[in-house]
């Protein structure tokens, strides 16, 4: 839906609360899906877990100094690659936030 332009982005909430979350959208030229952690993710609490896992998952420093994931749209057939990255992020990094809680998705409408 995101790559096809049916939605402008979506937020994956790691818990049943409104924070923390990861926002996914496409970049301005539509060449990559970009995933950014919300600013309320306390990086100092995740420390070594985040530093160790993020480069291995494809994250790099973004414009806001928060880890940013760029996933190329070229050859994008389905969301399996992103699903794998997201599940590893949940189980390897965000586990202290997510313990026994249910996450959820919220879609952004085009133009928002």
User: Per residue in 29-84, pLDDT tens?
Assistant: 888 888 888 877 666 666 556 656 666 777 776 676 677 888 888 867 777 878 88
CA 17/CA 71 separation, integer angstroms = 26
More confident position, 90 or 35: 35
State residue 80's pLDDT score. 81
Range 6-26 burial, b when 16+ CB lie within 10 A, else e? ebebbbbbbbeeeebbbebbb
The DSSP result for 21-32, as a single string, is: EEEEEE-TTSSE
Percent of the chain with pLDDT over 90: 0
State residue 112's pLDDT score. 55
Question: So where are the chain's domains?
Answer: 9-15+24-108
């Amino acid at each position: 839906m995101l790559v096809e332009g049916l939605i402008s982005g979506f937020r994956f909430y790691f818990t049943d609360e409104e924070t923390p979350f990861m926002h996914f959208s496409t970049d301005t030229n539509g060449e990559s899906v970009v995933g950014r952690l919300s600013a309320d993710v306390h990086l100092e609490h995740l420390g070594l877990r985040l530093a160790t896992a993020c480069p291995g998952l494809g994250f790099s420093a973004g414009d806001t100094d928060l880890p940013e994931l760029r996933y190329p749209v070229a050859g994008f057939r389905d969301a399996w690659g992103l699903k794998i990255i997201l599940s590893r992020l949940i189980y390897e990094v965000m586990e202290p936030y997510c313990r026994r809680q249910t996450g959820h998705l919220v879609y952004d409408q085009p133009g928002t």
